[in-house]
Amino acid sequence: MSERTFGVPPLRDGLAVSGRGIVVVRGGRRIVDEVDVDVVPRRILAVTGPSGSGKSTLLAVLAGLVAADAGTIDPADPADRAALSGVVFQSYGLLPVLTAAENVELPLQLRGLDRDEVRELAEIALARAGLPDIPDRLAEELSGGQRQRVAVARALAVSPALLVADEPTAELDADTAALVLHALRAEANSGAAVVLATHDPEVAALCDEQLHLVDGRVVASPFV
């Protein structure tokens, strides 16, 4: 069984990620256009901007899920970054026929942990996301806000060195959003590097740094 104290993530070495001149081209258009970015352990970076500004694409590049078409990223190998990342997808990415706990358990199982530890860590992560009472409910039966928090729990469960969260509070009420942001802050305090995309100035204000995108380019943030 795990020796983790309930609700407290273990200390770990965070993954610093630096990008210079990152470019991503889709359909002949630069979705991300010459972006410089630094994600630092123990801190939270908010990537802000309107819909379609390139936030989700930039986060996917940082997490090693999308390859940049130009620019440099350190660590350079996307697979290395992906292996150390926990990701909260904007569209949840849950399997509807699995329970909440089973969805959270998937990345833990891929890490070769024993069954008892997998279940314990999944339940801890669900509790940290404010969902201690729904481990056995099917994902397809959950509300949008509950699905969002299950997606957050899945990323938290693996104690990632890099936590990438795409609009993690978008469908949550103020109290539940505060709970999720508290969990992300706890990850940063435990050593993780955290980057999140948000269009909410109140969420951005709670982060340590901001990077504001418009049409794929970095511009001065109106939220600072």
pLDDT in tens, 65-120: 999 999 999 999 999 999 999 999 988 999 999 999 999 999 999 888 888 899 99
Flag whether pLDDT at 7 surpasses 60. no
205 CB-near residues (< 8 Å, 6+ apart): 223
Number of residues that this document lists for the chain:
224
Cβ atoms of 98 and 141 within 8 Å: the answer is no
Q: What is the pLDDT of residue 9?
A: 58
Question: Does one domain contain both 63 and 75?
Answer: yes
Flag whether pLDDT at 2 surpasses 50. no
Q: Which domain holds residue 66?
A: 12-84+160-224
Instruction: Write out the DSSP string of 59-103.
Output: HHHHTTSS--SEEEEES--HHHHHHTEEEEBTTB---TTSBHHHH
Question: Does one domain contain both 182 and 224?
Answer: yes
pLDDT in tens, 133-163: 999 999 999 999 999 999 999 999 999 999 9
Over range 194-220, report the average pLDDT. 96
**3 pLDDT band (50/70/90 cuts)?**
very low
Q: What is the pLDDT of residue 90?
A: 87
pLDDT in tens, 158-192: 999 999 999 999 889 999 999 999 999 999 999 99
Question: Does one domain contain both 25 and 111?
Answer: no
Cβ atoms of 193 and 59 within 8 Å: the answer is no
Cβ atoms of 170 and 149 within 8 Å: the answer is no
Q: What is the pLDDT of residue 75?
A: 96
Q: Where are the beta strands (DSSP E) in the chain?
A: 17-26, 29-39, 44-48, 70-74, 85-88, 162-166, 193-198, 209-214, 217-219
Q: How far apart are CA 88 and CA 55, in angstroms?
A: 13
Where is the domain boundary, 159, 175, 196?
159
Residue 190 forms part of a structural domain: yes
Flag whether pLDDT at 4 surpasses 60. no
Flag whether pLDDT at 35 surpasses 60. yes
The strand order across the sheet containing 193-198 reads 85-88, 162-166, 193-198, 44-48, 209-214, 217-219
Flag whether pLDDT at 44 surpasses 90. yes
Residue 173 forms part of a structural domain: yes
Flag whether pLDDT at 8 surpasses 60. no
Question: Does one domain contain both 39 and 125?
Answer: no
Q: What is this structure's pTM? A: 0.91
Where is the domain boundary, 159, 182, 208?
159
Query: How is residue 62 written in tokens?
Result: 């940082």
Q: What is the pLDDT of residue 11?
A: 65
